Amino acid sequence: MTLSVEVNDLTVRYRDTVAVDGMTLKLDGGKIYGLLGRNGSGKTSVLSVVAAFRRATGGAVLVDGAPPFENAALTRQICFVRDRVDAQDSDCVRKVLRIARALRPNWDEEYAQALIERFDLPLKKRISALSRGAKSALSVTIGLAARAPLTIFDESYLGMDAPSRYAFYDEVLSDYMAHPRTIIVSTHLIEEVGSLFEEVVIIDKGRLVAHDETEALRGRGVAVTGPADAVEAFTAGRTVLGDQRLGGTRSTTVYGQLTDEERTRARAAGLDLGPVGLQDLFVHLTASHGAEAHR
Amino acid sequence: MTTSTASIVSRSQLRSSLPMIGGYWAIMLPVYVTIVSVVVAVGDTDVSIWATSGGSAPKYFLLAVGVMLTTAFLPTYVGNGVTRRDFAYGASLYILAVAGVYAVVMTLGYVFEYTLYTSADLMGNLNDPYPVQSAGDALTQLVAELCVGIAYLCCGWVMGSCFYRFGTLWGIVLIPVTILPAAVTETGFDSLWLGYAIDNWLGIERPPLPVGVLMAAVSIVVAWFANFALIRAVAIKKVSG
């Protein structure tokens, strides 16, 4: 079972601050989505409304065609995993898992045990005694073992060290393949996790900046690599997203697609062309001037 | 309503809070048994120790238990897919159970103290008539304690919800309002100390039991709905560090 998400003209305000500003977005069920945005861009606010953690100030959110807020049939099918565990500091890990097991209809205890072992979670320790990485590991263990048809990881794994994060990415992918569902991953670590996403949503200042399949998004720009002089000549006058040099070799990422004639000319000049990195594109689209230019 | 979810919430709450509630009574009971035993041994008192001090502290404990419901537990349950409505139902069942334990312990405390006072021939020295002198009195006391227990838990719940929803400053400002249902309930049963003081101040005797129960029922219903209004759309904050 997978759940679709429809966000229609969503607005979320906190007193005078507009966190989400008339956002419209449709996510089909059964895919892994990357939700990218700078700090304060409104990612958590959107996800909180989708997960029924808060009410929208304006507009509407539909999950599987119905409003999720106080909808018991839906809320049990949505697992919103935040960067902190939704439990008391005085609770021990075992208790937190016990409550999740009791309340999550699709909970897979065998898988939970495997994750506990993989992330080396200390069952008897209190939440307050856990390292930041262990708290994140506990959060993602709940998110994965809950097997909720709509699972949302809101920067929940950022506290984990690199090996644990890669273990998490492996688990997300393999468990998604075995048990397809809708997964939304909100993150800053774009390059690290980018290959996981089937579609990417980029938001900035509470507004939708881009929503496309990952490959299509990466095709919005080109990484031009080759002799420094040739690269400089070819990219002159274009919008540069990123630039790297190593000896006489230069790699410049430019925004915008190339025509067939331009591609032929580049290859003739000894240049390699590749897709743009998600992170470069993200930085460009969410830079203060970029967000306005490409909306 | 998803009855099973509410039931899971209440059972989970009871299991989680059993060490806290059990620990409280495990400390309180030996302390008061010791105090009452010393009083009986000394052979001189004009009050019921259980009524004057033993019966008050647990009410404030219940208040604290109520305060934690929204502030500590609501995010946990909503985070596990429970609606605020089902949490309210589940927490209400939990309140009934905790108040029931409180009422039974309190009533048995009176029975125990009455037995000791009678055996030590202390009843004649008391300023006020002893509240539990027969099975009928015990049943009346059980009903009164149950109502008072529920009222205190509900008041604590409302108090905690005010802090959660409006923040610390307004939470503090609203404390006198949130405690009103408990005050009205205590007045209906002439309970120590708040109800006893109000009844004395108003110059009235303890109202008949049905009147007390009615006052308590109205207070509890008002508190419950006020609390539900506070939490039914509240945004969920992060709890752990």
- pLDDT value at position B236? 94
Selected residue of B11, B15, B80, B166 to mutate for chain A interface (largest A Cβ count, 10 A):
B80
ipTM above 0.85, yes or no: yes
End-to-end CA distance of chain A: 34
Please state, in angstroms and rounded to a whole number, the distance separating the CA atoms of residues B82 and A76: 6
Domain that holds residue B172: 3-231
Assess if residue B101 is contained within a domain: yes
Burial class (CB in 10 A: 0-12, 13-18, 19+), B84: buried
Once rounded to an integer, what is the mean pLDDT over residues A211-222?
Answer: 89
Closest approach of chain A CAs to the CA of B20, in angstroms?
12
- Determine whether the interchain pair A104/B12 forms a contact, defined as Cβ–Cβ distance below 8 Å: no
Question: For the whole model, what pTM was predicted?
Answer: 0.89
Interface list for chain A against chain B, based on CB atoms closer than 8 Å: 48, 52-55, 69-72, 75-80, 82, 84-89, 91, 95, 98-100, 102-104, 127-128, 135, 148
The domain total for chain B is 1
- The number of C-beta contacts closer than 8 angstroms across A and B is 90
pLDDT of B42 > 90? The answer is no
pLDDT digits (tens, 9 = 90+) for B192-212: 778 778 877 888 888 889 999
- Determine whether the interchain pair A88/B5 forms a contact, defined as Cβ–Cβ distance below 8 Å: no
Closest approach of chain A CAs to the CA of B98, in angstroms?
20
Assess if residue B240 is contained within a domain: no
pLDDT digits (tens, 9 = 90+) for B137-164: 999 999 999 999 999 999 999 999 999 9
Assess if residue B241 is contained within a domain: no
Once rounded to an integer, what is the mean pLDDT over residues B9-20?
Answer: 91
What does the CA dihedral A206, A208, A210, A212 come to, rounded to 10 degrees? 120
- Determine whether the interchain pair A75/B84 forms a contact, defined as Cβ–Cβ distance below 8 Å: no
Do strands A240-246 and A249-255 pair parallel, antiparallel, or not at all (unpaired)? antiparallel
pLDDT mean across residues, chain A: 91
Selected residue of A48, A97, A98, A103 to mutate for chain B interface (largest B Cβ count, 10 A):
A103
pLDDT digits (tens, 9 = 90+) for A232-254: 999 988 888 888 888 889 999 88
pLDDT of A214 > 70? The answer is yes
Nearest CA in chain A to B9: A103
pLDDT of A177 > 80? The answer is yes
Nearest CA to B106 out of B56, B153, B179 is that of: B56
Q: What are phi and psi of A26, to 5 degrees?
A: -130, 125
- pLDDT value at position A199? 95
Assess if residue B151 is contained within a domain: yes
pLDDT of A130 > 90? The answer is yes
pLDDT of B240 > 60? The answer is no
> Among B2, B79, B240, whose Cβ lies nearest the Cβ of A89?
B240
B236 interaction partners in chain A (CB closer than 8 Å): 48, 53-54, 86
pLDDT of B230 > 70? The answer is yes
Closest approach of chain A CAs to the CA of B79, in angstroms?
6
pLDDT of B129 > 50? The answer is yes
- pLDDT value at position A291? 44
Task: Report the percentage of chain A scoring pLDDT > 70.
Answer: 97
Of A253 and B55, more confident: A253
Residue A238 CB partners (closer than 8 Å, separation 6+): A254, A255, A256
pLDDT band at A32; cut points 50, 70, 90: very high
Closest approach of chain B CAs to the CA of A55, in angstroms?
7
pLDDT of A141 > 60? The answer is yes
> Among A53, A79, A87, whose Cβ lies nearest the Cβ of B236?
A53
- Determine whether the interchain pair A55/B235 forms a contact, defined as Cβ–Cβ distance below 8 Å: yes
Closest approach of chain B CAs to the CA of A269, in angstroms?
56
pLDDT of B122 > 50? The answer is yes
Residue with tokens 């009971």: B29
| Domain A221-275 indexed as CATH 3.20.20 | no
Of A10 and B38, more confident: A10
Q: Which CATH number fits domain A5-216: 3.40.50.300, 3.30.2270.10, 2.40.37.10, 3.40.50.12780?
A: 3.40.50.300
Assess if residue B178 is contained within a domain: yes
Assess if residue B194 is contained within a domain: yes
> Among A55, A91, A102, whose Cβ lies nearest the Cβ of B233?
A55
Once rounded to an integer, what is the mean pLDDT over residues A58-67?
Answer: 96
DSSP E strand boundaries for chain A: 5-14, 17-27, 32-37, 58-63, 78-81, 150-154, 182-187, 199-204, 207-213, 221-227, 240-246, 249-255, 272-275
B232 interaction partners in chain A (CB closer than 8 Å): 70
- pLDDT value at position B123? 83
Where do you find CATH 3.40.50.300 in chain A?
Answer: 5-216
A54 interaction partners in chain B (CB closer than 8 Å): 235-236
A102 interaction partners in chain B (CB closer than 8 Å): 8, 11-12
Please state, in angstroms and rounded to a whole number, the distance separating the CA atoms of residues B221 and B181: 9
Assess if residue B18 is contained within a domain: yes
